[in-house]
Chain A
Amino acid sequence: MKKKERKLFGNGLGQLAIPIIAICVLVIFNLIRDPSFFSIELLQNSDGNIVLSGNLISVINGASELAILAIGMTLVTAACGGQDISVGAAAAIAGSTFVKVLKSGGQITGFKVLLAFLLACLVAVIFASFNGTLVAVFKIQPMIATLILYTCGRSIAYWINGGATPTVESPILTAIGGFIPWIPVPTPILIVLVMAVIIKVFFRFTSIELFTQSVGINGSAARLNGLNSTFIKILSFMILGVCVAVSGCIGVSRLGLINHETLLLDIEMDAILAVAIGGNSLGGGRFKISGSIMGAYVIQMLTITLWAMKVPSTNVKAYKAIVIVLLVVAGSPVVKKWFEKTVSRFKNRKPEVAAKGAGES
Chain B
Amino acid sequence: MRKTRLLLLVVAVLAAMALAACGKKGNGLIKVGVVNNPPSESGYRQANVEDMEKVFSKENGYELHAFYSIKNDEQLQAAKGFITDGVDYLLISAAETTGWDAVLNDAKKAGIKVFLFDRMINVSEDLYEAAVVSDMAAEGDTAVKWLLSQNLSEYKVIHIQGAMGSDAQIGRTGALDKQFADGKMTKVVQQTATWDENAAKQIVETVINSKEDFNVIYAENDGMAKGAVKALDDAGITHGVNGKVIVMGFDCNKWALRELKAGNWNYDGQCSPFQAQIISDIIKGTRKVTTKKIINEEKGFDAKTITDDDINKYGLGN
Binding site for B on A (CB under 8 A): 34, 36-37, 43-47, 51, 53-55, 58, 62, 154-155, 158-159, 162-167, 178-179, 251, 254-255, 257, 259, 261-262, 265, 303-304, 307-308, 310, 312-314, 316
Contact = CB atoms under 8 A, between A and B. Distances in A.
Contacts of B197: 254-255, 257, 259, 262
B172 to A, nearest CB: 13
A43 B236 contact: yes
Contact of B194 (A159, A167, A179, A265): A265
Contact of B317 (A46, A47, A166): A166
Contact of B230 (A43, A159, A254, A262): A254
A53 B231 CA distance: 10
B278 to A, nearest CB: 22
B300 to A, nearest CB: 20
A74 to B, nearest CB: 23
Nearest to A53: B235
Nearest to B48: A163
Contacts of B186: none
Contacts of A62: 198, 202, 205
B53 to A, nearest CB: 14
Contacts of A165: 43, 222-223, 253, 255, 317
Given A43-B236, A254-B230, A304-B202, A164 B210 contact: no
Given A165-B223, A254-B230, A55 B201 contact: no
A158 B40 contact: yes
B40 A163 contact: yes
A277 B209 CA distance: 27
Given A55-B206, A304-B206, A262 B196 contact: yes
B234 A262 contact: no
Given A155-B40, A163-B40, A164-B316, A313 B192 contact: yes
Contacts of B33: none
Given A53-B234, A262-B223, A307-B191, A254 B198 contact: yes
Interface string B287-300: 00000000000000
B46 A257 contact: no
A164 B253 contact: yes
B236 A45 contact: yes
A203 B198 CA distance: 32
B318 interface: yes
25 contacts: A43-B235, A45-B233, A45-B234, A51-B234, A53-B234, A55-B209, A55-B210, A163-B40, A163-B45, A164-B43, A164-B318, A165-B43, A165-B253, A167-B255, A254-B197, A254-B198, A255-B227, A259-B223, A261-B42, A262-B194, A262-B196, A265-B195, A304-B206, A308-B206, A316-B191
Contact of B226 (A37, A54, A257, A265): A257
Contacts of B195: 259, 261-262, 265
A255 B234 contact: no
Interface string B31-55: 0000000011111011100000000
B105 interface: no
Closest 6 pairs between A and B when the two form their complex, measured CB to CB: A164-B317, A163-B46, A164-B43, A313-B192, A158-B40, A46-B233
B42 A265 contact: no
A58 B39 contact: no
A58 B164 contact: no
A159 B253 CA distance: 19
B161 to A, nearest CB: 6
Contacts of A312: 190
Nearest to A169: B255
A44 B43 CA distance: 35
A262 B254 CA distance: 19
A248 to B, nearest CB: 12
A255 B205 CA distance: 14
A135 to B, nearest CB: 27
Contacts of B283: none
B233 A265 contact: no
A163 B41 contact: yes
B42 A46 contact: no
B177 to A, nearest CB: 12
B208 interface: yes
A115 B171 CA distance: 43
B189 interface: yes
Given A257-B223, A308-B206, A313 B164 contact: yes
A66 B211 CA distance: 27
Contacts of A314: 164, 192
Nearest to B40: A158
A58 B205 contact: yes
Contacts of A45: 233-236
Contacts of B192: 313-314, 316
B203 interface: yes
Contacts of A47: 233
Contacts of A167: 226, 255
Contacts of A55: 206, 209-210
Contact of B42 (A51, A163, A179): A163
A255 B233 contact: no
Nearest to A312: B190
A257 to B, nearest CB: 6
B196 A265 contact: yes
A254 B201 contact: yes
